[in-house]
Structure 1
């Protein structure tokens, strides 16, 4: 599933490669991914020129001269910039540009391509409920955000309405870097621990961000991300020794997901 490192890189690639391109036509193979009838989606964007791109959480906002194209890759997928002669075998949408290039979009599961008219972006319910991009917050803003929250730490960080961008791929190493147990109650965190968590989030996400994202995701050019399984520190490495103390990494059921942690470096009891 793409998270902030992957979405931020796809947004940058769109900004670098698609600005100024005009949408000549749109082939729709999977109408279920749209938020309006296919004919309306096509009519709204045909002839539009791409002007800019930004992201929030897992949503990519592509601004055009005729409104917004919103893309969400759901559980994963590919966006490939190519030409009509080299289209991937699998796709759900194809944006054909006037310069004879194409953007092929393939969703594995639950992807979205939504059209939003100019001036109505704040009315798009699925993206409007998202919290701020986690890397956009200052240390003070992050501390203030946590100060009034209750519940367990991992659940809070994964809730996209609190903070947008962290998912279950990167959360394990983030909490390890911070020395915090995933089930720690938020009100028990000290100011020093909150500062450590802020730094750990930036470290955990930036490591992948700078390498183009995870190895199981493709960029706009069809190349795999450079952040590999070997770059993970403790995530998905149960029973292997902790790189800090040698204690076996533990896999623990935490709510609807599993967590990987070092029980010595990340004790639940903070005393």
Structure 2
């Protein structure tokens, strides 16, 4: 599943390639990915120009002119790929958007995904995008802002961070190393965290996600050009390394069940206190 690093990379590439282009046509083979009937979607989108592409958490925000927003979420996995006039299209795709210059992009979802179009003034009414928490790579994601987000919460720290209404963009891939760097067990309750641990967690979030962004995202995902990221299995500290030695103390890394998700921890460095 693409998480914040991969979506950040794709957004920057999309903004470079499609900004200023005018939508000529849309093909939608999977109506359930859309938030309105296909014919209505196509009619509303055709003729509009791309103003910018940005990201927020795991969502792509495409601003259109006149004032519309195109939201794209790649769900549990997808390929969002650009194409040129001379390029052969992918064999499989659920969505294709073509510009007047014959370039465009396709989307192929492994399981589910969303491509929603709404008037800009109705952003607050979009049930998913309007409820997103702050994105960790935003300038507004300061330590003080993070502390306020945690204030009064009583849940476990992992489930809190995975809830997109609290912090947008972190999934079960990068949460492993984030918690390890902060030396926190995934089931630690928020009220039990010291100020020093919260500071360490904040720095870990920024560091782990930032390193993957610089590497172009995870190696098992592809960017807007179809290139794989360079954040490989060797770059993970404990994530998906059950039985391997902890990079800090050499204790074997354990895979445990935390709610509905799996977690990888060092039982010595990440004690449940």
Match of 1:177 among 167, 178, 181: 181
User: After TM superposition, which residue ranges in structure 1, 4 or more long, deviate above 4 angstroms?
Assistant: none
Whether 1:235 aligns to 2:239 is yes
CA RMSD between the two structures:
1.0
Whether 1:259 aligns to 2:251 is no
User: What is the total number of aligned residue pairs between the two structures?
Assistant: 269
TM-score (norm 1): 0.97
1:200-250 C-alpha deviation (Å, 9 max, x unpaired): 111111111111111111111111111111111110111111011010001
Listed as ranges, the matches of 1:14-25 within 5 Å are 14-25=14-25
Partner of 2:143: 139
Which segments of 5 or more consecutive residues in structure 1 lack a partner in the other structure? none
Listed as ranges, the matches of 1:1-271 within 5 Å are 1-66=1-66, 67-83=68-84, 85-136=87-138, 137-269=141-273
1:69-116 C-alpha deviation (Å, 9 max, x unpaired): 111100111111113541011111110111111211111111111110
CA shift for structure 1 position 32: 1.1
CA shift for structure 1 position 31: 1.0
CA shift for structure 1 position 134: 2.2
Please give the secondary structure, in 1, of the residue aligned with 2:121.
coil
| Cα distance between partner residues in 1 of 2:259 and 2:244 | 23
CA shift for structure 1 position 19: 0.2
Please give the secondary structure, in 1, of the residue aligned with 2:128.
helix
Which segments of 5 or more consecutive residues in structure 2 lack a partner in the other structure? none
CA shift for structure 1 position 147: 2.2
Please give the secondary structure, in 1, of the residue aligned with 2:120.
coil
TM-score (norm 2): 0.96
Please give the secondary structure, in 2, of the residue aligned with 1:268.
coil
| Cα distance between partner residues in 2 of 1:60 and 1:154 | 24
1:149-205 C-alpha deviation (Å, 9 max, x unpaired): 111111111111111011000011111100111111110111011000000111111
Q: Which moved more, 1:127-136 or 1:23-32?
A: 127-136
